[in-house]
């Protein structure tokens, strides 16, 4: 009885451990392409990082603008000194020193620096807007990555389906040839060829299964859901064919690509900063005031003090520092302009290449369909000739290989076209 109870207990533990992975298995996530892209935009950490950088950049103009606003600070000072002594070395001023304890407030307000701060604010505004375009660029990158991964999963599943059908068909042929060999109607060579083809189909199936898992892992990464391992994806309708000419698409890309918008804004920021550096030679006018009380101190120090003054700062000579800063800003602005032109040229090339690749992918839809039709016909004829004893197993095996290759080319052509078409939308700045 004890042995029986022990056996039942061990069996219960085993079943519980075996069922645990199944219980922990995540449910299948049903998605359309639009939903997958929405998940990616919502959960991918690259988007969050770009948004935080844009928010940080938006604070910089406020930092510069604070220079034009009044500033007030408080101070508490305690001094112990030999009464009436003065600071004699280290400067042109010689303030009198008195022992005292005092508290008060200091205030200052920039009246004008003749445009320099406003130019700095404008430069920072352009830089903040440029960072917003970086966010849009990141979003477009995530959207095209999600589309590519989505169609990659569909493509891998289609190849897996072809591999499964191939294994089934070649297993059937292997069984038939083996039965004929046992009846001494076929040779051992026929059995060997059939088994080789079956083994090759099983290798194809193994690779296809691995490719499905790899594609799903890539999709999960792009979507920001790395623990999700099972997907059920909906088929997407074929997109419309591209226009006959590529030039309108290039013009749209030069207008709408967020990278170019970003670079143009950065160029504007560089131009505004150049103006601010030119304004370094302008004077600055400010108001300074102070007020407070002296509850303890030398009798010569009044108990209450206050004062206000106007200060004009005029740069005269600083060893050429301002001139060099102006020259540096001008060179950086020219570099920003050259970089914008270079990226525009690259985008025009990328649009043209994507356009050509997509048109080729569209043509492959009909070509692979014709190839599949011919491969199926070839296999039917080869099968008939083999059954009648008019050809060898080699001809039939080659026909099977051709059919498998045509099936894979046909099912992948659809998703290649869809992925290439999404790539064109990305290149012209239509993904947002």
Six-digit token pair at 385? Answer: 């000739």
For residue 423, pLDDT over 50 is answered with: yes
For residue 19, pLDDT over 70 is answered with: no
Q: Rounded distance, CA 65 to CA 48, Å? A: 27
Q: Rounded distance, CA 200 to CA 194, Å? A: 10
Quote the pLDDT of residue 8.
39
Quote the pLDDT of residue 5.
38
pLDDT per position as a tens digit, 305-325: 899 999 999 988 888 999 999
What average pLDDT is seen over the chain?
Answer: 88
For residue 211, pLDDT over 50 is answered with: yes
For residue 15, pLDDT over 70 is answered with: no
pLDDT per position as a tens digit, 179-202: 988 888 888 888 898 899 999 999
Residues 6+ apart with CB under 8 A from 423: 144, 148, 354, 357, 358
For residue 14, pLDDT over 50 is answered with: no
Over residues 251-259, the mean pLDDT reads 95
For residue 4, pLDDT over 70 is answered with: no
Q: Rounded distance, CA 232 to CA 72, Å? A: 63
Residue 13: pLDDT band (50, 70, 90) is very low
DSSP state of 431: -
pLDDT per position as a tens digit, 120-137: 999 999 999 999 999 999
Q: Rounded distance, CA 336 to CA 263, Å? A: 7
Residues 6+ apart with CB under 8 A from 15: none
Question: Which has the higher per-residue pLDDT, 215 or 229?
Answer: 215
Quote the pLDDT of residue 24.
47
Radius of gyration of the chain (CA): 38
In this prediction, what percent of the chain has a pLDDT beyond 70? Answer: 93
Q: Rounded distance, CA 155 to CA 212, Å? A: 8
pLDDT per position as a tens digit, 382-410: 989 888 888 888 898 899 999 999 999 99
Residue 26: pLDDT band (50, 70, 90) is low
Q: Find the range with the poorest average confidence among 201-215, 244-258, 261-275, 292-306.
A: 292-306
* Torsion angle, alpha carbons of 342, 344, 346, 350, to 10: 180
Quote the pLDDT of residue 250.
96
Q: Rounded distance, CA 318 to CA 123, Å? A: 25
Quote the pLDDT of residue 148.
96
State the pTM of this model: 0.82
Residue 79: pLDDT band (50, 70, 90) is confident
Per-residue b or e along 250-265, where b marks 16 or more CB atoms closer than 10 Å to that residue's CB: beebbeebbbbbbbbb
Q: Rounded distance, CA 175 to CA 159, Å? A: 24
Alpha helices, H only, 25-115: 33-43, 45-65
pLDDT per position as a tens digit, 150-174: 999 999 999 999 999 999 999 998 8
Over residues 74-80, the mean pLDDT reads 87
For residue 18, pLDDT over 70 is answered with: no
For residue 249, pLDDT over 90 is answered with: yes
For residue 330, pLDDT over 70 is answered with: yes
Q: Which CATH number applies to 26-69+114-281+320-427: 3.20.19.10, 1.20.1600.10, 3.40.50.720, 3.40.47.10?
A: 1.20.1600.10
Residue 303: pLDDT band (50, 70, 90) is confident
Quote the pLDDT of residue 25.
56
Q: Rounded distance, CA 118 to CA 272, Å? A: 9
Question: Which has the higher per-residue pLDDT, 204 or 23?
Answer: 204
Q: By the 8 A CB rule, do 422 and 168 touch?
A: no
């Amino acid at each position: 009885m004890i042995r029986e109870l022990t056996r039942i207990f061990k069996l219960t533990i085993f079943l519980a451990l075996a069922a645990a992975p199944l219980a922990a298995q995540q449910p299948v996530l049903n998605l359309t392409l639009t939903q997958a892209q929405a998940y990616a935009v919502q959960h991918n950490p690259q988007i969050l990082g770009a948004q935080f950088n844009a928010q940080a950049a938006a604070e910089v103009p406020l930092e510069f603008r604070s220079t034009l606003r009044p500033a007030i600070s408080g101070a508490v000072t305690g001094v112990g000194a030999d009464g009436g002594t003065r600071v004699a070395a280290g400067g042109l001023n010689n303030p009198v020193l008195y022992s005292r304890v005092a508290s008060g407030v200091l205030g200052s307000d920039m009246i004008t620096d003749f445009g320099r701060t406003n130019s700095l604010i404008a430069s920072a505004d352009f830089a903040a807007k440029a960072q917003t375009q970086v966010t849009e660029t990141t979003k477009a990158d995530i959207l095209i990555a999600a589309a590519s991964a989505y169609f990659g999963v569909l493509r891998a599943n289609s190849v897996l389906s072809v591999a499964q059908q191939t294994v089934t068909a070649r297993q059937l042929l292997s069984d038939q040839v083996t039965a004929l060999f046992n009846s001494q109607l076929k040779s051992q060579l026929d059995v060997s060829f059939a088994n080789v083809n079956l083994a090759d189909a099983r290798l194809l199936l193994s690779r296809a299964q691995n490719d499905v898992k790899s594609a799903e892992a890539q999709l999960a990464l792009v979507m920001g859901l790395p623990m999700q391992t099972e997907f059920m994806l909906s088929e997407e309708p074929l997109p419309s064919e591209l226009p006959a000419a590529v030039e309108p698409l290039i013009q749209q890309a030069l207008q709408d690509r967020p990278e170019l918008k970003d670079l143009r804004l950065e160029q504007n920021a560089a131009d505004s900063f150049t103006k601010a550096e030119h304004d370094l030679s302008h004077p600055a006018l400010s108001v300074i005031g102070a007020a407070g009380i002296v509850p303890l101190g030398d009798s010569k120090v009044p108990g209450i003090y206050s004062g206000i003054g106007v200060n004009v700062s005029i740069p005269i000579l600083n060893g050429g520092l301002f001139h060099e800063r102006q020259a540096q800003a001008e060179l950086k602005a020219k570099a920003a302009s050259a970089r914008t032109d270079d990226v525009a040229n690259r985008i025009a090339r990328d649009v043209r290449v994507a356009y050509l690749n997509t048109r080729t992918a569209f043509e492959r839809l009909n070509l692979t369909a014709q190839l599949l039709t011919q491969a199926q016909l070839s296999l039917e004829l080869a099968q008939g000739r083999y059954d009648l004893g008019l050809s060898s197993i080699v001809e039939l095996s080659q026909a099977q290989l051709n059919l498998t290759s045509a099936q894979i080319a046909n099912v992948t052509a659809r998703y290649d076209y869809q992925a290439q078409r999404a790539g064109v939308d990305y290149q012209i700045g239509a993904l947002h």
